[in-house]
Amino acid sequence: MVYSVDWATKVITIPKADLTPIVGTLYELDTEVFRNELHTIQASETGIVFSDIFSRNAPYTVAGVTYAQSIQIINGYSITFEDGTYSVRLIGSNNDIFDIQNGILNQNSVQVIPNNSAGLVDLNKEDIEHGAYNGAVSLDAINGGSGTTHPWGTTRPEISGGTYALDNLSDALAVAAARGFRQLDIRGDWTFGATDNIDNYEIRGYSQSQSFFTFTAGCSTSQTEFFDAELAGVLNGALSITNCHVEALSGVGGNLSETNIHDTIFENNPYSIKLTAGATKHVNIIDCASEEPGYSPAVIDMNGTGPDMVIRHWQGGIKLTNATNGQLVSLDTTGGHLTIDSTCTNMTIVVRGDTKITDNSVSGVTLIDQTTPTLVWDHPTGQAIYSQMYYRRVISAITSREIYYDIDNLPILQCLLWKDEARTIPYDGTGAAVRDKVTAYVP
């Protein structure tokens, strides 16, 4: 610090360079740092012969709450900030540094902003710095810098126009470890290297259009959670993906826990996701959709021995490939088209919802079709309607029945026929008046 005291005029000068830049033309003066510097000047060989510059009342505690110190400029001393068009916010104490009326502050173009309060609580430096991070370390590969001390890793802009976000993962992880954080907020694109380890971290982008994360093979992502970004590359370990956009993303699925993908858009390049071969915990895909236009489906590569999979509330086209290990798959859609590729040779899949199915598998795939159209037409009512429209019906005067046959010419449904509305005279070949409810065929 280069504070100076003119002992003859009792004017204390504070250079702009000794203030902390906040944003734009706003700066801060930590009055505790200021007080300590004045104490050093006062105790010097030159200053010790002069009257005291300030008085101080220490912080005090009432009912478990510590209230801030107070600092007063005394004995006719006054303060001048280096002139300029900027503002200075006073922190760290209740004080009279802003007092123009009583001659403490020599007024010029600088605006001084006090922070006095009757209930000002004393927060130590560590608490203030910790709160500045808002629970996360900020990264920006383009506009960030390097450092591991406050304010590095915060969203605070630098006075030069840059930011205090970090441009490297090593510093970010160091800050996170020191502060006890598990969240990294990344502005813009980011490439995770082959030796990077982000296990158990929460990684957040700024949006799917503003943050593109690329994962180099070898990067460890076990138990990592991703939000609000586009993802591509090679993952490693069970994880969670929410509100993202994925393309050519492999290594999905792990052995420690289930992998969860929520509210995410799938795009092919040449596939959307490829599961991890040999993974033992199944993959959950919930409330997701295909981005592919027209007849092109999103592609999920089961990678031969990839894990089981549960897909709920899917929208759009979806194609499953390379299932060869007896995987169990459950697919529920709200409108879409499932294609089972010919490379699927050993899989059981249950399909529900309003879905068209194209099964190109040759053998080894068990398809359990519980889609809405199938359930409707497999119901006795549906069968009756369908058989009346398309298949053989026989009216028998001997048994007084109308019998409905299926596509294989086997009887499946029946109804009794009566000659009178009271249903007392069975139909005998003439004058049928009443047809009973259609029921399952009884020989």
Banded pLDDT at 363 (limits 50, 70, 90):
very high
Task: Report the alpha-carbon distance of residue 182 to residue 164 in Å, rounded.
Answer: 19
pLDDT at 125: 63
Quick check: is 431 in a domain?
Answer: yes
Is residue 192 domain-shared with residue 293, that is, in the same domain? yes
pLDDT at 65: 65
State the Cα angle at 59 between 53 and 63, rounded to 5°: 160
Is residue 309 domain-shared with residue 389, that is, in the same domain? no
Quick check: is 372 in a domain?
Answer: no
Is residue 322 domain-shared with residue 194, that is, in the same domain? yes
Is residue 109 domain-shared with residue 224, that is, in the same domain? no
CA dihedral (241, 242, 244, 245) positive or negative: positive
Quick check: is 74 in a domain?
Answer: yes
pLDDT 10s digits, 378-432 = 666 666 666 666 678 889 999 999 998 887 888 888 889 999 989 999 999 888 8
Quick check: is 360 in a domain?
Answer: no
pLDDT 10s digits, 2-43 = 789 999 999 999 999 999 998 889 999 999 899 999 999 999
> Which domain, by its residues, includes 405?
380-440
Quick check: is 159 in a domain?
Answer: no
pLDDT 10s digits, 285-337 = 999 999 988 778 999 999 999 999 999 999 999 999 999 999 999 999 988 89
**Domain count across the chain:** 3
Is residue 416 domain-shared with residue 319, that is, in the same domain? no
Quick check: is 305 in a domain?
Answer: yes
